[in-house]
Structure 1
């Protein structure tokens, strides 16, 4: 039995592939609305924000990702149904492929606030906070289409669904457990 415990712990630790900077919020957890007003005062502060990619720009100095912010859930995944606090920019010294990080991709970034930068969006100049990326995580369809809890397995089986525990018409549909509504 003692030999199985380390094996079990190894298997359980392999289930999570998220970097710790993405999975856990920094302390203090600065929000975009707080930093956007006075980014210069928050220079060097560690943040963890997420959202949806608008576009990626590459040049000789690195890459810039334009992101519409969305609130993060407890795992650091952006909730695109949530209320956005605005936009921000991510700077990275490495090349970011615009095909992989195409418009609409959900991402979470951990990094530090650098400054504010003025950009033009549909003929309107806006001043956006700039984040220097230390960790960048791209969420795949499988990551954000399933709930990480009991509905995460596509073939979830409820052993009580057909017993006397549910009344007539109260049996759950398999589509609900699957997280898909067909």
Structure 2
């Protein structure tokens, strides 16, 4: 029984490295679709949004991150398989390294709605909400929530795959799916 305590403590602290602003949504939890149409009315409101980085622009005034929004799961991690509500911009006074926050990186931002800015995407002009970042969190690719075992994927881990439980030629085939060999 004594050996269970460290395991329980480890499991309870699994998400404790996340900042509180990323783990917990502000109240009220404004969604991008609500703010995008009326950004002037939501100026100064706290938000928590996430998505996938499109690009990072740096200049003398700071950095701007272009993000495609995706819905957040219960940990505050963007679900890139979800339906996007559009795009938004994150402004930071500090330098954001485009190598670390390269295109395709999943991020979650907690911040304040600043204003709207018109940007050109391909040949179309769009007016996007701008968020001043108070907390920015970059998600790792090895995050367990992307593991197919936790997502109920059909190629889940088989604990009997290496034992004598399968006869000759009956072992499961290994497949590469979603970044994992199964």
SS at match of 1:42: coil
Cα deviation, residue 12, structure 1? 5.2
Counterpart residue number, 1:126 = 126
Q: Distance in 2 between matches of 1:30 and 1:38?
A: 11
SS at match of 1:65: strand
For the structure 1 residues 124 and 8, does the alpha-carbon distance in structure 2 shift closer, same or farther, using more than 3 Å as the test?
same
Q: Distance in 2 between matches of 1:34 and 1:25?
A: 15
Within-5 A mapping of 1:20-169: 20-143=20-143, 144-146=145-147, 157=159
SS at match of 2:36: helix
Q: What is the aligned-residue RMSD (CA, Å)?
A: 2.9
Cα deviation, residue 147, structure 1? 6.6
For the structure 1 residues 59 and 150, does the alpha-carbon distance in structure 2 shift closer, same or farther, using more than 3 Å as the test?
closer
Cα deviation, residue 107, structure 1? 0.4
Q: Distance in 2 between matches of 1:70 and 1:140?
A: 16
More helix by share: 1
For the structure 1 residues 147 and 72, does the alpha-carbon distance in structure 2 shift closer, same or farther, using more than 3 Å as the test?
farther
Cα deviation, residue 9, structure 1? 8.0
Taking structure 1 as the reference length, the TM-score comes to 0.77
Cα deviation, residue 94, structure 1? 0.8
Counterpart residue number, 1:163 = none
CA contact (8 A) 2:56 2:63 kept: yes
Taking structure 2 as the reference length, the TM-score comes to 0.77
For the structure 1 residues 21 and 36, does the alpha-carbon distance in structure 2 shift closer, same or farther, using more than 3 Å as the test?
same
For the structure 1 residues 11 and 110, does the alpha-carbon distance in structure 2 shift closer, same or farther, using more than 3 Å as the test?
same
Q: Deviations over 1:50-109 (max 9, x none)?
A: 000000000011100000000011111101111100000000011100000000000000
Q: Distance in 2 between matches of 1:44 and 1:65?
A: 19
Aligned residues: 164
CA contact (8 A) 2:149 2:157 kept: no
**Structure 2: segments with no counterpart, 5+ residues:** 161-171
**Structure 1: segments with no counterpart, 5+ residues:** 159-172
Q: Distance in 2 between matches of 1:150 and 1:41?
A: 38
SS at match of 1:36: helix
